[in-house]
Amino acid sequence: MRNMNAVQSLKQFFLNPVIDKEYRLRMRTSRTMWTLLSYLVAMGLFAAVVFSIIGVEMRGSVYASSSAGITFIVMSFAQLGLIAFMSPGLTAGVISGEREKQTLNLLLTTQQSSFTIIVSKLISSISFMLLIVFSTLPLYGIVFLYGGIAPSQLLSVFAFYIFNMLVFGSFGVLFSTLFKRTMLAVIVTYGVVLFMFVGTGVIFLILLLSYENYAQTSQSVIDYSWILHILAINPGVALYSVLDQNFIHTVQLGIRGVSGQNFFNYVPLWLEFMIFYTIVLVLALYGAIRKLRPIKRRKRGV
């Protein structure tokens, strides 16, 4: 009986009016078809160019499994870049857009809770991105024809994509709730995503060079392995650690100030990435839920 009630509650949540409305607006327009077509054409042309370049470099031996592995890595990073580019645009206006159309107050007067509204907006936006990403599976099927790629690798990469969609989307929903203007929410969301990719890498390089120079001039042994945690919050580095399990150990060998046994000998880099951003994801959604219906503090003595 409890299981039936749980299933019924879950069904009611995913069939609530907010999700139903968002699905109708996003999935039943000609814009959706053209967006999907443009995405597939772009990915298809990119895959064709990569295969051509690798075929020329390997003197026409494009059927080698090693070339398929390189193509898979390049396509995976291209897909992650497109996800990072599209996800903020799909989510950064879900609340501020309602506010600009003066329909937010009407939405808040319904029986839907703040949690239901925020999560429904996020799920509906991410669902469209999921449709686009999973539509590229036939392109990855071409890579599988050449061998060298395990199905578990493909599943791991797509699970990583879904997690990043949720993270990027949570930032978009949060800033869409905090700011009244959609344009400002979009700019701030793209800024945060850009910092995740570029800013963390720049900070890591600056700290690495600073510690390397200090260690050379002072002729002292310094353990600065903690800077590897900065790499762990970079989506691109985390994706490569999913594709190459020995990546972080290769990086450790190239850094003088990293001891033999450290945190990453026990916890993979991609796992730390997911733990860190799971906390960030929960905090972002919690902040959006709290700010959707701000509670005014009562004055003392009242």
Structure tokens, 67: 């070339």
Report if residue 248 sits inside a domain: yes
Q: What is the DSSP letter of 199?
A: I
Report if residue 211 sits inside a domain: yes
Length of the chain equals 302
Reduce the DSSP state of residue 149 to 3 states and report it.
Answer: coil
pLDDT at position 160, please?
95
Stated pTM of the model: 0.86
**Residue type at position 107:** L
DSSP string for 220-251: -----GGGHHHHTT-HHHHHHHHH-TTHHHHH
Report if residue 302 sits inside a domain: no
Distance separating alpha carbons of residues 137 and 148, to the nearest angstrom: 17
Structure tokens, 58: 């390997």
Report if residue 301 sits inside a domain: no
- Residue identified by tokens 């499994």 is 65
pLDDT at position 1, please?
54
Report if residue 120 sits inside a domain: yes
Structure tokens, 183: 């344009």
| 268-299 tens-digit pLDDT | 888 999 999 999 999 999 999 999 876 655 44
Report if residue 237 sits inside a domain: yes
| 155-187 tens-digit pLDDT | 999 999 999 999 999 999 999 999 988 999 999
Number of structural domains found in the chain = 1
Q: Residue 196 sits in which domain range? A: 2-292
Report if residue 299 sits inside a domain: no
In degrees and rounded to multiples of 5, residue 284 shows phi and psi of: -65, -45
pLDDT in tens, the chain (302 residues): 555 555 555 556 666 777 777 777 777 777 778 888 888 888 888 888 877 777 666 555 545 556 667 788 888 999 999 899 988 888 988 899 888 888 888 888 887 888 888 988 898 888 888 888 888 888 887 777 766 678 888 899 999 999 999 999 999 999 999 998 899 999 999 999 999 999 999 999 998 888 878 777 776 667 677 788 888 899 999 999 898 877 776 676 556 555 555 666 677 888 999 999 999 999 999 999 999 876 655 445 44
Task: Give the residue from 185, 1, 6 showing the smallest Cα distance to 90.
Answer: 185
pLDDT at position 301, please?
45
Angle of CA points 119, 124, 126, to nearest 5°:
90
Summary count for the chain: helices (H), strands (E): 15, 0
Task: Give the residue from 73, 229, 216, 37 showing the smallest Cα distance to 156.
Answer: 73
pLDDT at position 3, please?
59
Buried b (16+ CB within 10 A) or exposed e, 243-273: beeebbeebbeeeebbeeeeebeeebbbebb
Report if residue 148 sits inside a domain: yes
